[in-house]
Amino acid sequence: MMGWSRVDQSAALACRHLRTALLVGALLVCWPALARDDSKISDADANASAEASGRTIYTHYRAIEAVRAAMDADQTMREDDRVAGEITLGYGGQIHVTVLDDASAALYRVAVSTDGVLAAPIEALPAPAGLSSNERAAAQARTTALAFDSPRCGDAYDTVVLPSSVEAQWVVFLIPRPSQGVVRLGGSTRVETEGDVATAWRPYTRSCIDLNPAPNAVAMIVTHLLDPTPTEIHVFWSLWKGKPFYVTTVKNGLWKVEDGRITAVED
């Protein structure tokens, strides 16, 4: 089993009352699961953590995609070459998306529902604006993770930045940007940060795996070698593609990931 590569300190598996009060519907969001040692966490607990984490990643990523689609429909926004990326904060039952420039200043802001619907038109700021303290911390985490020398599959990467259960730390998911419906499972990486330091990281695969199921395919299938059970990234990609994921693990057999839930497939 592949564990974490430690850079500075260990991360915890607990949930706490997050300072930013992330909400997905009525669900209090827990931070995502680590690659784990079988002796320390049960399959049931690992699956519950991966489910909550994967749904949270998807909710934030869907909000980013909704904002990009709206910006692409507006010629001025579409042609704005200052845009460098996005950060999200979840509070008040919504995902608040801030579009950044290369200097991590805000260019656009908008709130998005947890169903991926913009709550109002995108606000175009008259000039690049400063960030709140939480936004600055999230933007720094994004910058730190993107600069970290982890294996990549391709050049175009998206990020989902979430607060960690460890004080002053953040969790950044580096996600290869999907193209034409391709599931970019390979290259998906998790990086924990504190300021400008990456404190821990893990990959989710050992190679660049792309899955491109046919439109009429009923499910996706993959063998996962790094954990005894499916991870948050399998939950995320299953939700993103809208198809079940059958995941075979070396130790614990076959699992089904569907609608944000992980279940064992009985013989």
- pLDDT tens by residue, 152-194: 998 899 999 999 988 889 999 999 998 888 999 999 999 999 9
The tokens for 246 are: 């059958």
Looking at the chain, how many residues does it have?
A: 267
With beta carbons less than 8 A apart as the criterion, state whether 100 and 84 touch. Answer: yes
Strands 220-224, 245-249: pairing kind: parallel
Query: Identity (one letter) of the amino acid at 164?
Result: S
| φ/ψ of residue 30, rounded to 5 | -95, 155
DSSP symbol at 31: P
pLDDT tens-digit map of 200-211: 999 999 999 999
Alpha-helical runs (H) found in 73-132 = 75-78
Give the pLDDT score at 41. Answer: 84
With beta carbons less than 8 A apart as the criterion, state whether 165 and 195 touch. Answer: no
The separation between CA 67 and the C-alpha centre of its own chain, rounded to angstroms, equals 16
Give the pLDDT score at 267. Answer: 66
First vs last Cα of the chain: how many Å apart?
23
Mean model confidence pLDDT for the chain: 86
Give the pLDDT score at 3. Answer: 44
> Angle CA(31)–CA(33)–CA(38) in degrees, nearest 5?
150
Give the pLDDT score at 39. Answer: 53
Nearest to 162 by CA among 14, 5, 2, 21: 21
CA dist., res. 97 & res. 159, Å (int): 12
- Residues linked to residue 100 through DSSP beta bridges, in sequence order: 85, 106
pLDDT tens-digit map of 39-84: 578 999 999 999 999 999 999 999 999 999 999 999 999 999 999 9
With beta carbons less than 8 A apart as the criterion, state whether 15 and 21 touch. Answer: no
Give this prediction's pTM. 0.86
Nearest to 79 by CA among 124, 131, 19: 124
CA dist., res. 113 & res. 96, Å (int): 9
**Lowest pLDDT segment from 32-41, 114-123, 231-240:** 32-41
222 has a pLDDT exceeding 50: yes
**Lowest pLDDT segment from 34-38, 112-116, 216-220:** 34-38
36 has a pLDDT exceeding 90: no
